[in-house]
Structure 1
Amino acid sequence: MNIDEKIQKIEEGTLEVVNSEELKDVLAKEQPIAYTGYEPSGKIHLGHAVTVQKLKTLQELGFKIKILLADYHAFLNGKGSLEEIREIAEYNMKCFKALGLDDTTDFILGSSYQLDSDYADKVYQLATMTTLKRARRSMDQVSRHDENPKVASVIYPIMQTVDMAALNVDVALGGMEQRKIQMLARENLEKIGENVPVCIHTPLLHGLDGDAKMSSSKGNFIAVDDSVKDITKKINKSYCPQGEIEGNPMIEIAETFVYPNQEKLLIKRPEKFGGDIELTHEELLEDFANGDLHPMDLKTGIKDFLIEYLAPVREYMEE
Structure 2
Amino acid sequence: MKEEDWKDLPDPPYFFRRGIVFGHRDFGRIKKAIVQKKPWAILTGLMPSGKMHLGHKMVIDQIIYYQKVGADIFIAVADIEAYATRGYSLKEAEKLAMEEYIANYIALGLKPCNIYFQSKNDDVKNLGYLLGKKANWSEMTAIYGFNGSTNMAHIFAPLIQCGDILHVQLQKYGGARPTLVPVGIDQDPHLRFTRDIASAHRLFNVARAKDGRMGIFVKVDENVKELMDIAEKEGKKYGITERNDAYRAIYLDDANIDELDEALAKREQERGAYGFISPSSTYHRFMTGIMGGKMSSSKPNSAIFLTDTPDIARKKIQAAKTGGAVSLEEQRKHGGKPHECVIYELFLYHLIKDDKELEEIYNSCISGEQMCGNCKKMATNLMEKFLLELQERRKDAYDKIKEYVN
1:22 aligns with 2:45: no
- Check if 1:262 corresponds to 2:354: yes
3-state DSSP class of the match of 2:343?
A: helix
SS of the counterpart of 1:183?
helix
**Contact 2:119/2:125, CA 8 A, preserved across alignment:** no
Given the superposition, is the C-alpha separation of residues 165 and 20 from structure 1 closer, same or farther in structure 2, using an over 3 Å criterion? closer
Listed one character per residue, the Cα deviations across residues 22-47 of structure 1 (whole Å, up to 9, x for unaligned) are 22443345332112111011111100
Q: 1:247 deviation in Å? A: 4.0
Provide the C-alpha distance between the structure 2 equivalents of 1:130 and 1:23, rounded to a whole number of angstroms. Answer: 32
Q: Which residue of 2 aligns with 1:183?
A: 192
| Amino acid corresponding to residue 281 of structure 2 in structure 1 | C
Structure 2 residue corresponding to 1:127, chosen from 135, 141, 145 = 135
Partner letter of residue 207 of structure 1? G
> In the alignment, which of 38, 42, 45 is matched to residue 37 of structure 1?
45
Q: Which residue of 84, 94, 104 corresponds with 1:76? A: 84
Contact 1:210/1:247 (<8 A) preserved: no
Q: Is the 8 A contact 1:34 1:170 kept in 2?
A: yes
Distance 2:196 2:26 in 1: 13
> Paired residue for 1:218?
299
SS at match of 1:238: coil
The RMSD of aligned alpha carbons is 2.7
State the one-letter code of the partner of 1:68: A
Distance across 2 between alignment mates of 1:16 and 1:247: 21
Distance, in Å, in 1 between the alignment partners of 2:320 and 2:153 is 35
- The answer as to whether partners of 1:113 and 1:119 remain within 8 angstroms in 2 is no
Q: Taking structure 1 as the reference length, what is the TM-score of the superposition?
A: 0.81
Q: Of 182, 205, 209, which aligns to 2:291?
A: 209
Post-superposition CA distance 1:4-61 (Å, at most 9, x none)? 6217826444111212332244334533211211101111110011111111110111
Q: Distance in 2 between matches of 1:185 and 1:78?
A: 23
Shift of 1:263: 4.6
Instruction: Measure how far apart 1:66 and its partner are.
Output: 1.4
Q: Is the 8 A contact 2:322 2:340 kept in 1?
A: no
In the TM superposition, residue 155 of structure 1 has moved relative to its aligned partner by 3.1
Specify the code of the residue in structure 2 equivalent to 1:37.
G
Structure 2 counterpart SS, 1:5: coil
Equivalence map 1:120-269=2 (5 Å): 120-128=128-136, 131-136=139-144, 150-168=151-169, 170-193=179-202, 194-211=276-293, 213-219=294-300, 220-242=302-324, 243-259=336-352, 261-263=353-355
Q: Which amino acid aligns with 1:203?
A: R
Are the structure 2 counterparts of residues 149 and 245 from structure 1 closer, same or farther at C-alpha, using a change threshold of 3 Å?
farther
Query: Separation in 2 of the partners of 1:26 and 1:79?
Result: 40
Gaps of 5+ in 2: 1-5, 170-177, 203-275, 325-335, 397-406
Unaligned runs of 5+ in 1: 140-145, 265-279
Rounded to whole Å, the distance in 1 between the matches of 2:68 and 2:136 is: 39
Q: Shift of residue 282 of structure 1?
A: 2.1
What's the secondary structure of 1:189's corresponding residue?
Answer: helix
- Which residue pairs with 1:52 in the alignment? 60
Secondary structure class of the residue paired with 1:292: coil
Whole-angstrom distance in 2 between the partners of 1:182 and 1:7: 26
The total of aligned residue pairs comes to 291
Aligned counterparts of 2:71 and 2:89: Cα–Cα separation in 1 = 33
Counterpart residue number, 2:95: 87
Q: Distance in 1 between matches of 2:150 and 2:337?
A: 37
Within a 5 Å distance, the mapping from 1:264-279 to structure 2 comes to none
Do structure 1's residue 316 and structure 2's residue 393 form an aligned pair? yes
Q: Given residue 127 of structure 2, which amino acid in structure 1 is its aligned partner?
A: Y
Judged with a 3 Å threshold, the aligned counterparts in structure 2 of structure 1 residues 97 and 79 are, in CA distance, closer, same or farther, namely farther
- Aligned-pair CA distance for 1:240: 1.4
Larger CA Rg, structure 1 vs 2: 2
For residues 304 and 182 of structure 2, what CA distance do their matches in structure 1 show? 22
- One-letter code aligned to 2:339: E
Aligned to 2:266: none
Distance 2:152 2:12 in 1: 40
Question: Quick one: distance in 2 between partners of 1:90 and 1:115?
Answer: 22
